[in-house]
Structure 1
Amino acid sequence: MDVDKPTIYPYPGGKARSRVWTHFGFYKIKEGGPSKENLDMTKAICKICRRSYANKGNTTNLAVHLDMYHTELSATGTTVKQKLTGLKQAKLSFEVPKSTAGISSLKSTEIDDALLQLLCQKALPISLVDNAFFKKFVGLLNPRYQIPHRKLVKSKLQQKMNDVKQKMKSDLDTCQNVAITHDGWTSCNTESYSTITAHFIDTEWNLKAVSLETTKVEGQHTSENIAAHLKEAVAKWNLSIPIAVSDNAANERKAFELLGWTRLGCYGHRINLVVKHSLSVPAVQHMVAKGRKLVGFFHQSSSANDALIAKQQLLNEGSIADKLIMDVPTRWNSTYAMLSRILELSSAIYAVANDPTVQISKTGITTIRNYAFTFEEQLLAEKICAILEPFQKATVSVSSEETPTLQKIMPILLKLFQCIKITEFDPPAVKSVKRLMDAEMQKRTDDRDLGIMASVLNPFTKELAFLTEEERERGHKMLLEEALSVTCQVTVKTEKVSDEETLPPVPPLPDLPVEEVEEPNVLMLEPKQKARKCGEDDWFNDVIVLKTEQIPQNTMIREEISRYLGCVVNQNELSILDWWRENSHFYPRVACIARKYLSVPASSVPSERIFSLCGSIISKKRSRMNPDNLDMLVFLNRNMKYYW
């Protein structure tokens, strides 16, 4: 080592990242240790040739020095000469490399919209967009797509909600009559919510069921509070006074009495109450209680459940096994589902109870034998299921949202009364059940007038042949009274010659064979419509039509109703709404009434379905959700199929 030359000290602190500092250092300018304060950090000195370079925080000039003068110590492994010889003439290209290419704004918006649909339709949390595995999944599908962050997703959902509201308002403004359903619900974090759904038939005769709002309710669910909430919601959406459907709770009934609105009690709820009260017969209660105990044991014992599945597969040759169903007090006709499944699996249950090789304790075997149905109880269960089956079908029928249901009420009631007629072969317990059912149904068959009106407006049952003579007359009378209240004017113009003009005589025409032509059952068209139909100009209508005659309104209404009730309808061609779509212009007043009543649901199930959706959104892990966010997600979920 040359003693005359000053010592070159390495980069102080050992924090240098670049490999060039292995061969470069600094001179000391002050006494003390080799720290930044004591070294000349402005100049970097090569330890091999002691050439100095300005140190400005960039090591490129130092790496170039090693490439040019100390090739064997190159920091990059490639000399400057090799770099220069490897250069090629660049080609002009406007194509963006695939690795760095972005995604078009149109495609990005389309993917964003699909992401919002996924979150709303499956009730997924918005925080999904921040999940690392979701980002990895989307990155594998399209690495160029940038997932929006949570706040941006929420903002997009709010904007989509505003767009859907505008479309829905414009649709509701075209409807003169809208029906609503209302119900209340309490979430898992003990917060009360109220939901309102709207049902209407649009101009194309499509039945739509939409959610208006799901809001948090402060205070008690008194009839006054419910009435005020409903009145505010109807005013907010600018709706006319609707026909409302709700359950049969006392506060709901009183709320609509305070409002003075027409209310229909939920027929699904009525059927549930009829079934509950009718099963209070002691023999039936004992049999149902044994069924609950039996199902509860199999639900609690995994070994017993495995044995039951094994016996089912053995008896049914390896088919998929079923599980016993426990009835739920708040679920309609769940007792029927429980008894039906017990009867269906009775052979497997008896096999488990009498097989000594099954891996169940003696106490478990004794429990199964005690709670399994005897032959008498099994016969009673079969009879009860035969009675409850029509009620279950009726519940499903009145709970539909895709098709009109109000016109089904009268046929369903007639069918149920037929099913509960007592016969001489019925056991005493079954007779008691049927008597209770008949008494309960007689008490809960109010609102028959709405059902009769809807049956008249159903073109396939407008004659009301299944009703009594008194009910038929009342139904047709109600239709006439309703038509008289509809504000619809139809003016018929007749072609007559004015007294002030004298036209030349028309020469006699030769006799032509007379053919009987059936007149189409249509309304007379206005002159402009006639001219367009004939393909003529309408500027000479005043020459052809010289006088206007106003037909009395009552006469026109009676004629229209007579034509509607007398028209022949093919029972196998169209649905109710399809028929009205094709024939509404023939019966304009009756069509207005049909839009009003056929849009009314026979049950408040749409509100119950919304609460089921709310239960999947507000869970124990999402119990602190903002009520406005809940309303937004429910609103978009229920209305996206119509207005997204």
Structure 2
Amino acid sequence: MGSDTQMEDTSGPSAIDVSDAYAKRKVGRPITSERTLARNFPEIDEIRGKLLTGECFGRMRTSGNSSSVWQLFEEIAYSDSQLFTGIVRCKACAFMTRYHGQITGTSHMRRHHCFREAFPEAFTNSPKITPNVTINKIKKEPKVSVNRSPYAIHPVSSSLIKETNGGQTPTAKVQPNTNRIATIKSELRERILQFCYNELITVESMTSDTFKSLVQSLVKLCTTVGKGTVALPDRNQLYAQMTGQHNQCKNRIKEELNSALQKNIGGALVCDSEADLCVISTYYINSNWQLVESILSATAAGNDINAFISQTLEDFELSDDQKLSKFTFISRGGLFDGVSMCLTSMAHVIDGVIESAVFGDDTYTEIVENCKVICAELRLNVEGFTTEWVVKFEIMRQVIENRHKFELKNSSLDLDLVKFLVDFLAPFKAASVELRQCSRHPTLNHVLLWYYKLLKHLNATADDDTLASGLKTVIKVGMEQNFQLQSFHKIAAFLWPNFRFLKMLSTEEREEVHNEVRELIDSRIVEEDGSGGGVDSNGLKKAANFDEWEEQDSEQDELNKYISVQLTTCNEQNILIWWREHQQDFPKLSHLAKWILSIPASVTSLERFKLISSQEVTPELLFMHCNAPFKRSLVMDKSVKTSWQKKMQIKNDKKIVKLYEQEIKDAKQQEIEAKRVRREANKQRKQENARKAEITVSIKNPKKLKRIAKKQMKQMRKVRRN
């Protein structure tokens, strides 16, 4: 009882003193306890490391009457206990500092430069402290104010200004950081224009009050400030910058295209139009044997396509007959005067035949609708295709591939018929997709191959029923009427080394293709060689002219050599690389391949850039959308194919590196094993030495062991004494 009374006497007065102190102290900062004063803040580097590992996280302060500084700073708390670490971080620049309500306060956080930029009104409207002067002096001398902010610029009295500047009173103004503001505004304009290019949104939409309110709401949501204002660029500034970028991109494409036409014997002029939309582009192969596409012009109000094409050619200085005759014109079915040849988009020809022959009536409409319902129930994705009949094909294919996931109940859907349609239309879908890969590799060399493969697929067999034979007959008639093979299609297949023998053609047709190749060499290649000026196509100086003693091969011999010599094969991805490696063996055929293989089999600009006729945008915006930084002058080829010797050398180098790496690992493992053996030997020697140094006491009376404690018994052991 006495001890309890004594404890109460020692602890009571301190509690009474603290409460009295709080009762007496009604103003100023509250008294801080010893525990709070002795608080140890964690190191900022330690908290920064825990933020990276996920042991800590940032959160918004949730106190009711908090300072405006907490709209810029956030607390850092531990992830496991949710306790505040005592460290705060700036949301704008990730600056971290210590904070405690009774130790540090928020003054040092208000002095942070981000707080001054985010809340300028906290400094301009802060209360002013007038110096200790009399009222009479206030009328004679200017009122001097001292701003509480550490960034405040103290004004200079007029008397001092007169003494230092000879009586002239300058107007002192605070100059903002104009360079940084100009940089931020320029970056904002650039991002807005890139957004307009990529999403095809007009500049007026980006400068409207609706978009401004949207951005303002986004700022409030992200920063939880609600006081900042959004200042969008002026519409005229955006239009001026877009015009400059448009002219710069246009001049670059013009320079590259004219330079390529001087070195090549031909290229392709592609027109993809639908309704009022029209996109003009060119395809050519540059000096590195890479297929390049350049968008020349685009419009959403193309009422007169021929006039639009003519104006585009004039803008890029391609309207003269010499340059225009080098182009092969490709479109969805139109013609254009002045070019060497006009070709039709073959992928759209196949689409038209299948759409009219199979899905032209309502025969399979119910089947497709039922398959759509099944895909919706199974949540199968069939997006990513622009052609209508390919979308229907994919819907049916998804149903067949997932037929084990559902059971039909009271449905008229015939899955066997769906499977037949999928198997029957699969080659046409593959041909339509392959002939659209113009942005990846040459495709004109695929036209002849797909034509004969589809005709073989349409041949009647003994197993065909009435439905199969009827579909084959209708589609075959449509293919023969619309799929018109031109000489360039056959020449392109001939220039693919894998199919240079043209086994799908008859002997007379092969001879006709060979004669057409010789005519093109005579009419195009000879003129090109005559204007070389002593420099070959690779920019190297030609050797001296000793033609009178040199054995020269004719075009006939080069063509026969290409047919008879055993050559390496190549796929469609590296056919251009093959011709680059063999251009010294077949110089004139390589010139011809550089022209023919640059011609695309189909037009795909509207599909690739996802343009629709209902979009009302300016031609400049459409042009920049098609020539955005990630789409400009697409280089469409794979890396250079390495030779066998190079592959073996790389393999041997890798083998040597692996052996050296294994030697290092073995040496390190041996070192670790030696340390382990040495450590065990030291441990054993230490135990032996300890046992040698032990002092043993012999116990002659075993009854004494019963009186020894268990803890001591564990430390005892039997030792044999000599």
| 1:279-428 to 2 correspondences below 5 Å | 279=358, 285-286=362-363, 288-294=364-370, 305=376, 308-309=377-378, 321-322=379-380, 331-348=388-405, 350=407, 353=409, 369-370=410-411, 372-373=412-413, 377-400=414-437, 401-428=439-466
Tell me if the contact between 2:197 and 2:624 (Cα under 8 Å) persists in the aligned partners.
no
Letter in 2 for 1:587: F
Count of residues in correspondence between the two structures: 455
Q: Does 1:185 align with 2:274?
A: yes
Tell me if the contact between 1:399 and 1:602 (Cα under 8 Å) persists in the aligned partners.
yes
SS, match of residue 484 in structure 1: helix
TM-superposed deviation, 1:125: 5.9
In structure 1, the gaps of 5 or more residues are 1-16, 25-44, 64-74, 79-98, 187-191, 220-224, 300-304, 310-320, 354-368, 492-522, 531-540
Question: Would the alpha carbon gap of residues 552 and 439 (structure 1) be closer, same or farther in structure 2, given more than 3 Å must change?
Answer: farther
What corresponds to 2:664 in structure 1? Answer: none
SS, match of residue 608 in structure 2: helix
Letter in 2 for 1:412: W
What corresponds to 1:196 in structure 2? Answer: 280
What corresponds to 1:69 in structure 2? Answer: none
What corresponds to 1:215 in structure 2? Answer: 299
TM-superposed deviation, 1:101: 11
Tell me if the contact between 1:296 and 1:326 (Cα under 8 Å) persists in the aligned partners.
no
SS, match of residue 584 in structure 2: coil
The higher relative CO (CA closer than 8 Å, separation ≥ 6) is in 1
TM-superposed deviation, 1:590: 1.6
For residues 221 and 497 of structure 2, the distance between their equivalents in structure 1, rounded to whole angstroms, comes to: 54
Partner deviation per Cα, 1:277-317 (whole Å, 9 max, x = no partner): 331698xx53x221244356679xxxxx5xx34xxxxxxxx
What corresponds to 1:270 in structure 2? Answer: 349
TM-superposed deviation, 1:427: 2.2
Tell me if the contact between 1:265 and 1:603 (Cα under 8 Å) persists in the aligned partners.
yes
SS, match of residue 380 in structure 2: coil
Q: Does 1:438 align with 2:515?
A: no
For residues 218 and 625 of structure 2, the distance between their equivalents in structure 1, rounded to whole angstroms, comes to: 20
* Correspondence for 2:560 among 553, 559, 562: 562
Letter in 1 for 2:366: K
For residues 390 and 528 of structure 2, the distance between their equivalents in structure 1, rounded to whole angstroms, comes to: 45
Partner deviation per Cα, 1:436-464 (whole Å, 9 max, x = no partner): 11111111231332210111122222221
For residues 264 and 527 of structure 1, the distance between their equivalents in structure 2, rounded to whole angstroms, comes to: 35
TM-score, normalising length from structure 1?
Answer: 0.60
For residues 460 and 330 of structure 2, the distance between their equivalents in structure 1, rounded to whole angstroms, comes to: 32
For residues 436 and 609 of structure 1, the distance between their equivalents in structure 2, rounded to whole angstroms, comes to: 31
| 1:9-408 to 2 correspondences below 5 Å | 51-54=136-139, 59-60=143-144, 120-121=197-198, 123=200, 127=206, 131-132=215-216, 151-173=236-258, 174-175=260-261, 176=264, 177-186=266-275, 192-217=276-301, 219=303, 225-239=304-318, 240-241=323-324, 242-248=327-333, 252=334, 255-256=335-336, 262-279=341-358, 285-286=362-363, 288-294=364-370, 305=376, 308-309=377-378, 321-322=379-380, 331-348=388-405, 350=407, 353=409, 369-370=410-411, 372-373=412-413, 377-400=414-437, 401-408=439-446
Question: Would the alpha carbon gap of residues 384 and 327 (structure 1) be closer, same or farther in structure 2, given more than 3 Å must change?
Answer: farther
Tell me if the contact between 2:627 and 2:633 (Cα under 8 Å) persists in the aligned partners.
no
TM-superposed deviation, 1:402: 1.5
Partner deviation per Cα, 1:323-356 (whole Å, 9 max, x = no partner): 578998x6342331222233344455535x4xxx
For residues 149 and 267 of structure 2, the distance between their equivalents in structure 1, rounded to whole angstroms, comes to: 80
TM-superposed deviation, 1:181: 1.9
Q: Does 1:469 align with 2:541?
A: no
For residues 185 and 585 of structure 2, the distance between their equivalents in structure 1, rounded to whole angstroms, comes to: 49
Letter in 1 for 2:270: T
Letter in 2 for 1:350: E
Letter in 2 for 1:433: L
* Correspondence for 1:628 among 612, 620, 630: 620
What corresponds to 2:605 in structure 1? Answer: 606
Tell me if the contact between 2:448 and 2:493 (Cα under 8 Å) persists in the aligned partners.
yes
**Aligned-residue CA RMSD (Å):** 4.6
In structure 2, the gaps of 5 or more residues are 1-124, 151-175, 636-722
Question: Would the alpha carbon gap of residues 479 and 261 (structure 1) be closer, same or farther in structure 2, given more than 3 Å must change?
Answer: closer
